Structure 1
């Protein structure tokens, strides 16, 4: 599996496929561009479960998600600000908990599985 090509206006962009797993096990797909946040990719695809009450500014912890371990170890570590906000999630934080607003999608994340919690409040 590798990045997909999307063209428009004569330009070709590599798209990264993401999988969002709902609490009931339903899988929803989203396509993202390199450099886009995980949150914005989910919002553009109409993925439910990431509230982002603060608009993606890392001040509410309502875009809490769980990153599959295989990809989590390749990602940059959460910032101090994100670490602090992860202390306020509605569902207890786990080892691979992250805030979707703080994850910048990169090409190596193609095929990433993001697990959504049962609730954000």
Structure 2
């Protein structure tokens, strides 16, 4: 049990540190969009790829690592900031792009993992 807890701590720390790093390279709206799209791709990919692994490992990767890396609350804050600035068109575009691209990225990750599984 201690190993599982430490694994969660390490995975969440890696995800949070990666998120923090992206936030220092890209502007706020772009960094949030980036981590959510990349995280969605990775979730789709790893959902397929990790099927043969233990449930605790899968949850550790999906919840701790990717949960700490992606940020729905950051997306919500970015959207509210845009709306408060009166940037309605930009906010709408950001909303559509964030949600649409995240779903497409998750699907792409899923498909890539399936292709790799079939080629092995």
TM-score (structure 1 length as normaliser): 0.26
More helix by share: 2
Which protein is bigger by CA-based radius of gyration? 2
- Flag the structure with more relative contact order, 1 or 2, with Cα contacts below 8 A and sequence separation at least 6: 2
